[in-house]
Structure formats: structure tokens, C-alpha cells
Structure 1
């Protein structure tokens, strides 16, 4: 009897342990099935395990591919991530990343195209690259893209092969706040290579995830050209077009002549200046030359009516970037003699996309997609490098001549004690312009060729909106 009782006790203990193990196993299977996509109610344990194994295999493939394409530690500081290092490099090179199919369709473009060329990524993606080139460059660029065959004669990744590399120069259309303005082009350089990618079944925004899959040519895969595009000549002043927090604002006080009297604590993270750096300086010292005339009208309107709202304008930050602002302001009066005392301003950060919509609405224009530009509209400058800024050239002349006689200074001079000079950081290089001859020299280079000799470059855009201040 004692032995039978011991056996029953052992069996009961063993059964209890088995039941506990089965319960734990069922709980884990249930947790795995809950993480799988789709309807998992009718899945048995074997199906759940098969799907999990398949997911892990794909995950390992993606991880292996990411390790191959990962930037080595000797290329970048250890405290920077890949994304941070890539962003710093693009800013240093004045460049952006683009992915184009062999027929010229743009699959992806990075946000850094906006401060460099004035295009929003949404305007460029799903368009054809040839629509942004002058017509005389269409045939050669299309030939280089469409005639390339991906080299796959060894197991190493295709993008590490010199045979897949491509480098060439061309002109690219600059964006504008007003589509009816005379089109201008920027002289740029493409440096990249051809890769294969899985054709995504979703929108182009998922293109990155497709590139992370193993790059090997097989049925159902396409070839695209992924390149870094940078300006032939550095652009020292850029527009801060992508705003992380567009609702940011700060307050300042100005004299009636628009000199800074006060700057609150919210301003330094936005414009970079500490209060003591701007006190006593004129607000006009920090405004873009193209916006001075509009701001002068807003100032006059304020002096007449005592309050108002400014147009959207560009303000030069301490980091040498143009940030778009819009100001609400009013005049305060002395409590005893009721004389105007100073101006109180609340400045709000505005994104470039909002500015463009507002300017085009003011001009009674639609926001059309990019279209091909007729070659007769092409203008070029006579010296190589990036597009020169015509208004910044005029601005530079204001530094040399204390009594400028252009239209902007005459309009602004109607205000009391309006400053006639701006910081040297505002000025840019200047160059003349000339029409492109019919038999002009081609500026595109194929792989293995050297940089071109000085070639024609395109005239600068001159952004100007024409609208009156609002109350």
C-alpha cells in the first residue's frame, strides 16, 4: 500500500508539472499569434510556429543586409547614428538623396532638396526627372539611365561594384513661390550607383524598406539609380524650410524705428541669438533682401493704424539659415501723455509649404505639378558654379555704396531711421547672365570622365510676392 501511494503521488506530481508546462506553452503560443498580422483565431500551434520562423528568417536577412550597408566606424564618430551622420554629410555637401528608375521616374527624394532647390519632396516624387531638366539635356541623361545594365558577376553586393557607379553633371530646375516666374536652373552633380530593388506593393513612401532587402537581380525586381545630388558651388545661406514645430513663437519689443529693445527667452532656440546680441540693432538687418519692400509697407501700415499682421518673411538665424516668420504687432502708448512708446511683436514660425500656398493664393494661382520647361525659357550665367543671387548682388552693392538708389532702398527709406545696411553674412556672390546658344556645350559627363570645364550656368530666381499687409 505504501508503494502504491508513493507511485500515485509521483504520477500526480508529474501530471501537475506536465500541465503547468503545457499551460506555459499555450500562453506563449497565444502571445506569438497575437503579434502575427491578420486573423490568427483559427491558426493551430504548428501554423503559428511556422509563421514566426518565416518572420525570423526574413528579419535575419534584413539584418545581414543592413550590416553590409552599415557605415563602418572609421567613417564616422562612434557617438553618431547612421541617420545623424548621413544628415550631417548631406548638409556639408549641400546635397540630397534621390532614387530614380531607369526611365527617369523619381521614387524617392530626401527632405534636404527643399532648402537647396525650393522643391517639396511631394512635388518631386512620382514625377519624371526629365521634367526638371532643360530639354537639350534630356537625351543624354535618359540614355545614361536607361542603357545601364546591373553588374552581377560576383556574390558581393551590386552597389559595391565600380561597374554600377555613375557620375554626371546637369542642370536642375529650381522651385519658386510663383510658378509664372522665369524658370531658373541650378548646376548640380549626380554621384551614385545602380541597385536592384523589390517592387513595393504600396506607395513610394515605403521605398526605403524595399531597399533593405537583399540586393540581387531576380524575377520581379527592378533596377534604380540611387545618387547623392549636390550643388556644384556651395550655398552658404539656406532656407530652413522643414520646421519640426511650426507653432513655435517668441516675443520681442522694438522702438518705433524697429530697433530691438527686448527679446524673450523663447527666441534663442528658434533664431539662435541671445538677447544681448540683438539689443540696439535694427530688425531690418536680419531680413531677406527680397522681403524688405513688403516689410517696409507693413511697418508703414503699423505706424498708421497702430496694429496689424505682417506678411511671411525670411529672418536670418545665427546659424546662417533663413527661417520663415510671421509677426503680429501693436503699438503701446505712454499711460500719462498717450504718446507712442514702443512696438510689441509676437513672431510665429511658418513652414515653407504654408508660405508657398499663401503666396500662390495671393497671386490667384493654383499649385500645379511640375511641368517640362521649354528650352527657350532657359537662362544661364557666364561663369561656372551655383546659381548666383541677383538680389543678393544688389544687396552687396548696398554695403559698398552707403546711398543706394534702387527701388527697395527708396521704398524703405520712407520709414524713420530705416537702416541702409545689413550684416555681411547676408550677401552672396553675383554673376551676369546671358542666353544659352542653340549649339551650347553639353555639361553632362558619363562615368570615368573628368569634371567639365567652365560651362554656362543658369540665372538666379528672384522670389517676390506682391500683397498688402493684413490687419
Structure 2
């Protein structure tokens, strides 16, 4: 009998250990699936692991290529990676990198084009370079690029190994929120080289190829690309804010009462660039523009006093070092037994910002918002009675304001 009890105890202990191990494994799988792009709800464990392995393999390949092309010169600080140093150089030079095929199709452009010209990279890719040039410059740019193309036939393949630098000035179209607005151009300088690449993506746009004789085209599988650094001829001291084109973009987060991140949902990374684990435990104030800190602090004081509300429009620093405008609705959740405040739930909405566009129902002037907020708070305080019950309830009578950016919702 004692032996049977011992066996049962051992089996129970093993089952408990196995269950604990399975639970830990399921938690890890769930965390991995939450980091994968797209809808991962219908993925089984094997698919999740396969996708993670594929990502790690790709990451190792990119890391190996990065080490090969790492800048070895003494003037590059050792504590900066190649990507970080390149990004800093582009920002300091007021420039961006672009790669154009011999057909005029843009196959790559760096993110730094956004603050300089107002274009999102996704809006520029697979477009023809001529679409961004004034019509009177089309023939001149075509002649410069095509003259170099004609020298890259098989008889003169050594051309790509020599100094084939091309430098020219032209005008590039600036991005605009209003498609009906008269186009404006920025005077810029191209400095680059022609290089041969494999696996260049096929373009869907029409380009220069129709005018280039077939005898001078490159061999199949390889393509000549013009890779250049584009700099502004006149440096900009005031740069454009990052323009988010998707309407009604929003994400949620939870914060402690000290305003530290406790949770970030899956919609946040495409908007602000940060993954949840990168911001958890950090203060929200670390990402706000210095000019907005005082007003945001006052908004949060109102939140702690009344339990819910809406912030003014403020600037948030993304992982790509761009400022985007957000507006936040928030409320405090309370413990169901002792009614003590636990944490703050926030819904952050992206606000489109531009000189030619004023968002409906949201003012971008923080002072105007807060002045109306003070008026609403004074009305609320006057309408309250000094009873304990009214002080303990955040749902006092609020008078909605005519300005929708400044109203407090009960």
C-alpha cells in the first residue's frame, strides 16, 4: 500500500512538473507570436517557431553582410554601429540616400527623406524619378543618366570598376497633404556612382529603358543602378514633421500612476516604431517634446484629480527619431474591493498635422486646449458639493464645451 501511494505521489509530481513546463512553453510561444507581424491567432506552435527561425536566419545574414561592409576608418566612433553612423551623417548633411535603376525607377530611398521633403518612403518607392522633377529638367537629367548607361555595355564592363561618379543639381518635388496645392520644388544636389546589382526588383513604372538601345542593356540577372546621396542645396533649420497618412490610427497603453509604461498593444509598433519590451518600465515623459512637457503635466494633474479626460495634442518621439502628433484619451481604473487607483488606461490617436490641414475636432494649440480645460475644471469644482460621496466619485456633472478638443467626457 505504501508503494502504491509513493507511485501515485511520484506520478502526481511528474504530472505537475510537466504541466508547469507546458505552461511555460505556451507562454513563451505566445510572447513570440505577439512579436510576429500580421495575424498570428490562427498560427500553431510549429508555424510560430518556423517564422522565428526564419527571422533569426535572416538576421544573421544581414549581420554578416553588415560586418563585411562595416566602416573601418578611424574617424568613425567605435561605439556607433554602421547604421547609426550613417543615419547621423545623413541628418548632419541634410540628406538622404536613393537608388535608381537605369529605367528611372526608384528602388530604395532612406527614411530621412521624410523630414527633408515631406515624402514617406513607401510613397516614393517604385515611382519614376521623372515624376518628382519639373518638366523642363526631364531631358537634361535623362541625357546625364543615359549617357552613362551607354558606357556600361559588355565591351566596356571595366567602366563600373573605374571612377564613374556623377554629380548634378536639380529640383525635387516636395510632399504635400493637399493634392490640389500648387507643387513646390526643393533645389538639391545628387552625388553618386553607377553600380551593378543582382536581384533588383522589377519595376511597374515606365522609365528610360525604351530610349536605350538593346545592345547597351546589361546581361539578364544583373542591373545597373545609380546610387546617390541627395543633399539640400540650402540647409533646413525647420524640418517637416513626420506625416502619417493612415486615418484614425490609434493604439492603447497602460501606465502606472507614476506614468511608466505597463502595457503596449500590437498596433503601436507600426506607428511609433517601438516594440512593447522596449518601452515597458520607462516613463512616458521620456518620449515627449520638451515644449509640451509642462502642459502635459498639467493635463495629468487634471487626470489624477477627476479620473478621466483628454490630453492636448502633443509631440511623441518615434524610434526613427521623428516627431508625430498624438492626442490621448485616458481614465484611471480602480481596485474593485478597496476602490484604490491601480493604473491608467490610455488610447492614443495619431493627429494629422500640416499647414494646409487642420484636423476636424482636434485643435493643435495646447494652450488653447488647456485654457478651456481650466474653465471646465472651475465649472466642475463649483458644481460639486463638499459631501464625501461627491468627492469620491469622478463622475460629477460636466458641462460639454463647444470646442471638441477641450471637452471632458463624463
Higher relative contact order (CA 8 A, sep 6+): 1
- With the shorter chain as reference, the TM-score category is 0.3 to 0.5
How does the TM-score come out when normalised to structure 2? 0.47
